[in-house]
Amino acid sequence: MWVINASPLILLGKLGRNDLLESLARQVIVPQAVFQEVAAGASGDAAMKEALNWASPRVQDDILIPPSILGWDLGAGESQVLAHCLAGGHRAVLDDGEARAAAKVHSVPLVGSLGVILRARKAGLIPAARPLVERLIECGSYLSADLVRKALHKVGE
């Protein structure tokens, strides 16, 4: 199972490709705190509303956050993603650098928005990664040119 945070949910929603998540994971969990964070910023944004519609049946109640996660001073959504992952042995879908660092310290497997696209390409779910990666950047994801070059090289592009 994968537990998704707000940023990847929003970005993949803006690409119209939240479907890739369930094609790659047997189940996707959206913690309540993540859903509320996305809902708070969704006013008038059609792509975000679509992401919320996709996320709604996947929402799970927030759980107790372990003290080791609280010590990182992350947002409520990131903290819930990591708490769910630690409780259930799930993979985190995170873009935030600090949250990714916390996941690594806690040995939580993780993937980001870029990684979802690369995995989809490797799995044959999309014909090419480059167009989605370019749109990801246009939608506000910061990815260095070097990272993009290396990532696309890994999938033969």
CATH number, domain of 18, equals 3.40.50.1010
Position 146 scores a pLDDT of 96
- Model confidence, pTM: 0.93
**Chain CA centroid to CA 108, Å:** 14
Mean of the pLDDT values across residues 35-41?
Answer: 90
Domain containing 23 equals 2-154
Average pLDDT, the chain: 94
Position 108 scores a pLDDT of 98
Instruction: Express each pLDDT in 113-145 by its tens digit.
Output: 999 999 999 999 999 999 999 999 999 898 999
Is a pLDDT exceeding 80 seen at residue 93? yes
pLDDT-derived band at 43 (thresholds 50, 70, 90) equals confident
Distance set, CA 19 to CA 9, 14, 23, 64, 106 (Å): 11, 12, 6, 29, 28
Position 46 scores a pLDDT of 81
Instruction: Express each pLDDT in 46-88 by its tens digit.
Output: 888 888 999 999 999 999 999 999 999 899 999 999 999 999 9
3-class DSSP assignment, residue 62: coil
CB-CB contact of 113 with 133 (8 Å): no
- Total number of domains constituting the chain: 1
Is a pLDDT exceeding 80 seen at residue 29? yes
CB-CB contact of 81 with 3 (8 Å): yes
> CA 26, CA 32: separation in Å to the nearest integer?
20
Instruction: Express each pLDDT in 142-152 by its tens digit.
Output: 899 999 999 99
